[in-house]
Amino acid sequence: MGKQIWKPGNMLYPLPAVMVSTADKSGNTNILTVAWTGTVCTNPAMVYISVRPERHSFQMIRESGEFVINLTTEKLIRATDYCGVRSGKDVDKWKECGLTEAKAASLGYAPVIAESPVNIECRVTDIRELGSHYMFLAEVTAVQVDEEYMDENGKFELNKTGLLAYSHGEYLGLGKKLGSFGYSVRKKPPLKDKERSRKKGR
């Protein structure tokens, strides 16, 4: 079978569906859901979100220069969707979704969502008008993680939180583990003597 040629469009999926918490300098806060987000740089740690200027949170981010990317999970799926389709001009999303507004560790205005397993606190460094969306480039100033997902060795088990992904209009769970970074070139451990002997005897 052949392939159809479509007009240019955003078909880069799956993407993280994250809830972004915002605030203005007067103390008004809001949550918006975005999928146009990602990593920009490791050192310094930088991320971006792209937001339409008509979104209620747009001016809040622009005024305060802050936002928090809150990772979402299967438990937060309803809130994730709700915060993407309802406007903070009309409803109190914190109240409607049963979410808790908590203080950021490094920011002066934008709060974190307490129910999220990871809160990435961000300070805007640049705003780029790209067309339908404005890109907010930001430096990560702190990260909060839920201690519930720390194992006995102090490792944060992020993939056990039930993270959400967004793909072509649908929310998806991440599914089963298929490999780990570098597994395709990793050397196999040497066979133990007993296992080597057993294989020789076949």
Give residue 197's pLDDT.
57
Nearest Cα to Cα of residue 103 among 114, 116, 115:
114
pLDDT for position 141: 98
Domain boundaries, the chain: 15-173
pTM (whole model) above 0.85: yes
Residue-wise pLDDT tens for the chain (202 aa)? 899 999 999 889 999 999 999 999 999 999 999 999 999 999 999 999 999 999 999 999 999 999 999 999 999 999 999 999 999 999 999 999 999 999 999 999 999 999 999 999 999 999 999 999 999 999 999 999 999 999 999 999 999 999 999 999 999 999 888 999 998 998 877 666 556 556 555 5
What is the sign, positive or negative, of the torsion defined by CA atoms of 170, 36, 38, 106? negative
What secondary structure does DSSP assign to 93-133, as a single string? HHHHHT--EE--SS-SS--EETTSSEEEEEEEEEEEE-SSS
Q: What is the structure's pLDDT at 95?
A: 97
Write down the pLDDT at residue 158: 95
Cβ pair 94, 101 in contact under 8 A? yes
pLDDT for position 175: 84
Q: Is 11 helix (H, G, I), strand (E, B) or coil?
A: coil
Fold that domain 15-173 belongs to in CATH: Pnp Oxidase; Chain A (2.30.110)
> CA 34, CA 196: separation in Å to the nearest integer?
52
